[in-house]
Amino acid sequence: MSNQKLHHAILGTDFSKAVAEIIDNSEMVKTLGIEKISLVHVLNLRDMISVERFTIEGLGKKLTEQKELLQTKGFEVESEMIFGIPYVELEKKRREKGAQIIIVGSHGRTGSSSTIGGTIADVLQNLKAPVLVVPLEKKEAVQPELPMKNFYQYEKIMLELQKHEPGWNLKCNQLVHHILLPTDFSDFSEEAFQYLKEMEEKLPKVTLLHVQDEIKIGKHLDFKLEEFNKIDTQRLIRLKKEFQSAHPETEVQIELLYGKPTQVILNFIKEYEVSLTVMGSQGRGFFEGMFMGSVSNQVARHSSSNVLIIPLPDNRTE
């Protein structure tokens, strides 16, 4: 397997405060090796609110402002405004420009995405390249009292409310401080492991985690849990040795836990202040019940850490 360097990223923008927060903290992605960003606004004509709020000229001005801000942070930047379905057009643009990764933001709500006018589910189900999911949370905001006396005041009130739209904070503004790699020892997990192992950046701390799925083991296989633990501990030790051979400077820990994988992983991320979770995913076209895919998608949506999702090579398009 050959690992492409994450040199060039596609960042979709809808000019929201959420995207502005990602841009304000964009220096953190340099720790993944990203040096160039293609800033893309996809004008979705089905989103009539956005179409009515801005003129094309106004959108172009906002795009230029965000481009210039990224340039001040040391990135090589190009920007473009196109029409279409956001997640579809961003993938097309990634292939066209030869970018290696797409950056999206997550609100943490099921299926939500703050950066491309689509959903995290859309992006991950059509996965063709690594995707970095950046989690955001709303700042507290005080809503003004704007009683509507009649229908004709509706537009005025909506514009006023938009001025008071709450801002956003990144849940985690670091990437390589503490990296978690959950694994079920599948091909998807192996791909994510190899991708992480081949990164050239210095990685201070990495935890390799396997969760014994309590639902799959259940009452019928609980008598074999001790045997499973011995086998999987040896697997984790093998991965640890292999990773340390490539990154001798990295502190590598292994963890073997029991429970429901998604919840165990999310709890671990929060308790141990994980900054980046790296997981494999099959995208569309494989069995829904497989561990990596259903679990990685849920973690990507609800994690307090940044999440880097890696597809299998057969799924990728260059």
* Tens digits of residue pLDDT in 54-109: 677 888 999 999 999 999 999 999 999 998 888 889 999 999 999 999 999 886 54
Phi first, then psi, for residue 31 (nearest 5°) are: -70, -10
How does residue 318 score in pLDDT terms, banded at 50, 70 and 90?
low
- Chain center to CA of 206: 18
- Rounded-to-integer distance, Cα 209 and Cα 222, Å: 20
How does residue 5 score in pLDDT terms, banded at 50, 70 and 90?
confident
Q: Are 214 and 264 in contact (CB under 8 A)?
A: no
Residue whose entry in the numeric block shows the structure tokens 């799959």: 216
Q: Which residue stretches of 224-260 are H helix?
A: 225-246
The DSSP letter of residue 234 is: H
Q: Are 179 and 225 in contact (CB under 8 A)?
A: no
* pLDDT tens, residue by residue, 175-218: 999 999 999 999 999 999 999 999 988 999 999 999 999 988 98
Q: Are 116 and 76 in contact (CB under 8 A)?
A: no
Residue whose entry in the numeric block shows the structure tokens 């057969």: 314
Domain ranges of the chain: 8-170, 179-300
Q: How far is CA 121 from CA 47, 169, 274, in A?
A: 18, 22, 23
Identical fold between 8-170 and 179-300: yes
The DSSP letter of residue 299 is: H
Q: Are 141 and 165 in contact (CB under 8 A)?
A: yes
Torsion of CA 116, 120, 124, 128, to 10 degrees: 10
pLDDT at 57: 83
Q: Please state which CATH number belongs to domain 179-300.
A: 3.40.50.620
Q: Which two tokens stand for residue 226?
A: 């001790």
* pLDDT tens, residue by residue, 144-180: 555 555 555 555 655 555 555 668 899 999 999 999 9
Residues 8-170, CATH architecture: 3-Layer(aba) Sandwich (3.40)
The pTM score is 0.84
Phi first, then psi, for residue 193 (nearest 5°) are: -60, -45
